[in-house]
Amino acid sequence: MAKSSSQSLLDRFNNSANALGLVFMLPAAAILLVFLTYPLGLGLWLGLTDTKIGRPGVFIGLENYRSLFNDSVFWLSVFNTIGYTAVASVFKFVLGLILALLLNQNIALKSFMRAIILLPWIVPTTLSAIAFWWMYDSQFSIISWVLVKAGLIDHYIDFLGDRWNARISVVVANIWRGIPFVAISLLAGLQTISPSLYEAATIDGATPWQRFRFITYPLLTPIIAIVMTFSVLFTFTDFQLIYVITRGGPVNATHLMATLSFQRAIPGGQLAEGAAIAMAMVPFLIAAILISFFGLQRRAWQQGSKD
Amino acid sequence: MSKKPVVQSVEEKVYSEGGMDFLLTRQRKFVTVYLPLAVFTFILLFPFYWMTITTFKSNDDIYNYEKNSPFWVFNPTLHNIKKLLFETSYPDWLWNTFLVSVVATAISLFASVLAAYAIERLRFKGSRWIGLSIYGAYLVPPSILFIPLATMVYKLGLFDSRWALILTYPTFLIPFCTWLLMGYFKSIPFELEECALIDGATRVQILWKIVLPLAVPGLISAGIFAFTLSWNEFIYALTFISSSENKTVPVGVLTELVDGDVYHWGSLMAGALFGSLPVALLYSFFVEYYVAGMTGAVKE
C-alpha cells in the first residue's frame, strides 16, 4: 500500500509540469538569485551608504550622487563613455557591415576567411589589448616606425600621452575587437536572404546600391537592431581595454564610468562611491534593453507571427 | 555533367553563388572584393602577428628596428618563453584559469540544461516570464556587479580563492547557455517526447535519453562558449584575487609581468601569446559551433 501510494506520488510529481519545472529551475535560479539579483540590490544599497573597504557604512541617502553631480571627473567619464560608445559603435557597424557583405560574396576559402576573421573576438581582450599597448608604445611603436619610414610623419606619435591621441587609440582598439562580432552576426543574417530577390531586382534593372538599399537593408534591420544593442551595451560597460591600455589616463582623459568606478572603489577604497558610479550606468543600459525589446517586436511583426 | 540541361546548370550556379556577382569581371571583383578583404584581414590579424614575432625576438631586435627589419625574426630565441615559464608564476596562472574555467563551465551547463528544458518544454506556470528574465540577466554587465560581489566574496571568506571565481562566473554563463540551449530544445520535435511519455518514460528519462543526445551540437556550442568566456574574464579575477599564485592568465600577465616602469615586452608578448593559444586552438577545432552559438544567441 505504502509503496504504491509513494509510487503514484512520484508519478504525479513526474507528470506535474509545475512541480518538476520548479525543481529543474532550482540550480540556475539559486545561483542567479544569490550572485546576480542580490548583488544588484546590494549595489544599489551600497550607493546610498558611505561604505569604505574594511568599514561597514551607514545610510546617507543620495549624498554620493550629490557629490558625483559636482564631480568634474565623473562628468568627464560620462561624456567619455558616451563618446567612446557612439564613435566605436558607428564604426563597428559600418565596417562590420562592409566586411559581412564582402564575406557574403562568392569568394575562395570562404569558411577559412570567416574563421580567421573571428579571432580578435575569441582571444582574451586583455591579452590583445596588451598587444595594442605594445604597438602604441611611445618609443618603439611599429605604427610610428612605419609612418616615419614612409615619410608621412617626421616624429613618433605620442599615442597614449596626449588626451585626444589616447582617446582615438582606445577607440581604434575597441573597433578592432568589435568588428568580427558584428560582421559574423550580420553575415548569418545575410545568408537567410533568398537569392531570388536579388535576381528579380537585377532583371528589373536595379543597381547594386538599389539592391542593397531596398532588399538587403530592410531584411537585415531586425538583426542589425539586436546586434547593435549588444554591441552598444558591451561597449558602454567596457572595462578591460581601457584598464590595460591607459588606466584612464592621461589625466582621466580616457576614464569610462566602469574604470572610474573600479578606480574609486578598489584601489581608492571608496566602495560606496564606486557602487554609485556603477549604478549611474543602469539608466543607459535600460534604454539599450528597451531598444532591443522593440527590435525583437518588430522582427516578430515582420515575420507575421503573433508570438 | 553532360546529362544535365544547360539551363539547370546556370540556375544552380546562381543559387550556389548566393547573389549576382558572376556578372562581375575578374578584375573588377579583385578590386571590389579581394582587395578590401585583404585589408580587413591584414588589420584584424596584424596584432597577433606582432605578438607572435615579438615573443621569439631577442631583446636586441625588439628595441632596435634599424639593424634588422622589425617584421621578421632573424635570431629566434626562446629566452622570453623560458623566462615566462621558469621565473614567473605563469604555469600556476594557466592551471588556475583552466581549472576555474572547466568547473564554472560544468556547473553552468548542468544548471542551464535543466533550466532551458524546464522553460522550453515543461511549460510550467510563468515559464515565459522566467525565460525573459534569463534574457535580462544576460544583459547585466559584470562591471556593475563587481563591487557588491567583492563585498559578498569577502564576507563569505572566499576572497583570494578560486571558489570566488567559480561561483561568480556562472552569473554570466548560465543566462547565456540557457538562452542558447532553449533555441536548440525548441528545434526538437514534440512528437518524440510524446511517444516516450506514452511508452511510460519519466521526464528525467526523456531529458537524459532523448532530448540531450539530440541537442549535442547545442551542448558543445554552449560548453566551448562558456569555457572561452571564463578564460577571457578579467574584472572579477582582477578584483577578487590578490596573491600571485591564485591569479588567472589575463590578470597575471598584466599585473605581475610589469615591474615598475620597466616593460619587458618580450615576456609580456609571450604571456599574451600563450594565454591566447588555448582558446585559439579550441576555436580552431570547433569553428562551426562557435559561429552557430554566436549567431544562435543573437537570433533567438
Domains detected in chain B: 1-46 (no CATH), 56-86 (no CATH), 88-299 (1.10.3720.10)
**Percent of chain A beyond pLDDT 70?**
90
**pLDDT at position B258, please?**
77
A184, B136: Cβ pair inside 8 Å? no
**pLDDT at position A305, please?**
46
Q: How far apart are CA A267 and CA B270, in angstroms?
A: 28
Distance from A88 to chain B by nearest Cα, in Å? 16
B134 within 8 A of B119, measured Cβ to Cβ? yes
Residue-by-residue DSSP string for chain B: --SS-HHHHHHHHHHHHTSSGGGS-HHHHIIIIIHHHHHHHHHHHHHHHHHHHHHTS-HHHHS-TTTS-TTS-SS---HHHHHHHHHSSHHHHHHHHHHHHHHHHHHHHHHHHHHHHIIIII--TTHHHHHHHHHHHHTS-HHHHHHHHHHHHHHTT-TTSHHHHHHHTHHHHHHHHHHHHHHHHHTS-HHHHHHHHHTT--HHHHIIIIIHHHTHHHHHHHHHHHHHHHHH--HHHHHH--SGGG--HHHHHHHHSEETTEE-HHHHHHHHHHHHHHHHHHHHHSHHHHHHHHHHHHH-
**pLDDT at position A191, please?**
86
pLDDT value at A7 more than 70: no
What is the 8-class DSSP label of residue A257? H
* 300 residues of chain B, pLDDT tens digit each: 334 343 333 434 444 444 555 566 778 888 888 899 999 999 999 999 999 999 998 887 888 787 777 888 888 888 888 888 888 889 999 999 999 999 999 999 999 999 999 998 888 888 889 888 988 888 889 999 999 999 999 999 999 999 999 999 999 999 999 999 998 888 888 888 888 888 888 888 888 888 889 888 889 999 999 999 999 999 999 999 999 889 999 999 988 887 666 678 888 999 999 999 999 999 888 888 887 777 766 655
Asked if A205 has any chain B CB less than 8 Å from its own CB, the reply is: no
- Omega before A250 cis (within 30°)? yes
Query: In sequence order, which ranges of chain A are alpha helices (DSSP H)?
Result: 2-15, 17-32, 38-46, 63-69, 72-103, 110-117, 119-122, 125-135, 142-149, 163-190, 195-203, 208-211, 217-236, 240-245, 257-265, 271-279, 282-302
Handedness of CA A94, A95, A101, A104 (dihedral sign): negative
**pLDDT at position B136, please?**
84
How many Cβ atoms sit within 10 Å of the Cβ of residue A307? 5
Q: Which residue of A has its CA nearest to B125?
A: A18
Testing the interface with B: which of A12, A14, A35, A259 to mutate, by most B Cβ within 10 A? A35
Query: Over the stretch A225-250, which tens digit does the pLDDT of each residue have?
Result: 888 888 888 999 999 999 999 988 78
Helices B79-87 and B265-285 pack at an angle, to 10 degrees, of 90
For cell 567619464, what's the residue?
A: A77
Closest by Cα among A95, A131, A177, A54 to B273: A131
B143, A278: Cβ pair inside 8 Å? yes
Q: How far apart are CA A199 and CA A271, in angstroms?
A: 61
Distance from A118 to chain B by nearest Cα, in Å? 9
Name the 3-class secondary structure at A12.
helix
B175 within 8 A of A32, measured Cβ to Cβ? yes
Average pLDDT, chain A: 87
B144, A289: Cβ pair inside 8 Å? no
**pLDDT at position B22, please?**
59
Between the CA of residue B221 and those of A6, A101, A114, B107, B297, what are the distances in Å? Answer: 40, 25, 17, 15, 10
CATH number of A66-302: 1.10.3720.10
Query: Over the stretch A147-158, which tens digit does the pLDDT of each residue have?
Result: 888 888 888 888
Q: Please give the residue that has the higher pLDDT: either A302 or A160.
A: A160
B47, A132: Cβ pair inside 8 Å? yes
Q: How far apart are CA A290 and CA A301, in angstroms?
A: 16
Q: How far apart are CA A291 and CA A231, in angstroms?
A: 12
Beta-bridge mates of residue A55: A52
**pLDDT at position A8, please?**
64
* pLDDT (average), residues A54-75: 89
In chain B, residues with a C-beta closer than 8 Å to the C-beta of A15 are 203
Asked if B251 has any chain A CB less than 8 Å from its own CB, the reply is: yes
Q: Please give the residue that has the higher pLDDT: either A208 or A278.
A: A278
Distance from the Cα of residue B220 to its chain's centroid: 12
What is the location of CATH 1.10.3720.10 in chain A?
66-302
pLDDT value at A4 more than 60: no
What is the 8-class DSSP label of residue A253? T
Phi/psi at B258 (nearest 5 deg)? -105, 110
C-alpha cell at A191: 545568408
pTM to 2 decimal places: 0.87
For cell 533550466, what's the residue?
A: B115
B171, A35: Cβ pair inside 8 Å? yes
Q: How far apart are CA A272 and CA A288, in angstroms?
A: 25
Contacts of A207 (CB under 8 A, 6+ apart): none
C-alpha cell at A181: 562580432
pLDDT value at A90 more than 60: yes
Contacts of A115 (CB under 8 A, 6+ apart): B283, B284, B287
What is the 8-class DSSP label of residue A52? B
Asked if B290 has any chain A CB less than 8 Å from its own CB, the reply is: yes
Give the up-direction half-sphere exposure of residue A65: CA atoms within 13 A in the CB hemisphere: 14
Query: Over the stretch A131-174, which tens digit does the pLDDT of each residue have?
Result: 999 999 888 888 988 888 888 888 888 888 889 999 999 999 99
Q: Please give the residue that has the higher pLDDT: either A210 or B297.
A: A210
Query: Over the stretch A20-45, which tens digit does the pLDDT of each residue have?
Result: 888 899 999 999 999 999 999 999 99
Query: Over the stretch A280-292, which tens digit does the pLDDT of each residue have?
Result: 999 988 887 777 6
